[in-house]
Amino acid sequence: MAIERTLSIIKPDATKRNLTGKINAKFEDAGLRIIAQKRIQLTKDQAGKFYEVHAARPFYDELCEFMASGPVVVQVLEGEGAIGKNREVMGATNPADAAAGTIRAEFAESVGENSVHGSDAPETAAEEIAFYFSGLELVG
């Protein structure tokens, strides 16, 4: 499988509980390399732009409020099949359905406050990485 890059976000519920290092250890233990990372505070408008694809969903406003409620850590993960591998390490959206040992099974508080975001396909990964990082910040 090819080396891929994917966009990851450690969400406000997790940064608030000081879980950045424990979550990063899950990525590294799975063979994903954190090749770029920064801690930022999104405005609600910025969160809304990032999650525009969900604008028609009933939870959109709540999701944007939540993503702007505290700092997030945005990251680029790299590795063999990184997009799918990251989704495996994250676990299902709803922590009640997430497999044992996944980030969401261990750390997520609810289906909304679920600790991490991960891109779901090569096209969205490229778009989402470009949303947060310039080419100069990606040194591999």
Positions marked active-site = 117
Q: Smallest distance from the beta carbon of 121 to ligand ADP, in angstroms?
A: 11
Burial profile 48-61: b = 16 or more Cβ within 10 angstroms, e = fewer: bebbeeeeeeeebe
**Smallest distance from the beta carbon of 82 to ligand ADP, in angstroms?**
15
Q: Number of residues in contact with ligand ADP, rule: CB under 6 A?
A: 9
Q: Is 117 in the site for ligand ADP (CB under 6 A)?
A: yes
DSSP state of 85: H
**What CA–CA distance (Å, rounded) separates 60 from 8?**
19
Out of 15, 114, 128, 132, name the contact with ligand ADP by CB under 6 A.
114
**Residue pair 105/96 in contact by the 8 Å Cβ criterion:** no
Residue from 39, 41, 93, 121 that binds ligand ADP (CB under 6 A)?
93
Q: What are phi and psi of 42, to 5 degrees?
A: -85, 145
Binding residues for ligand ADP (CB under 6 A): 54, 59, 63, 93, 111-112, 114, 117, 120
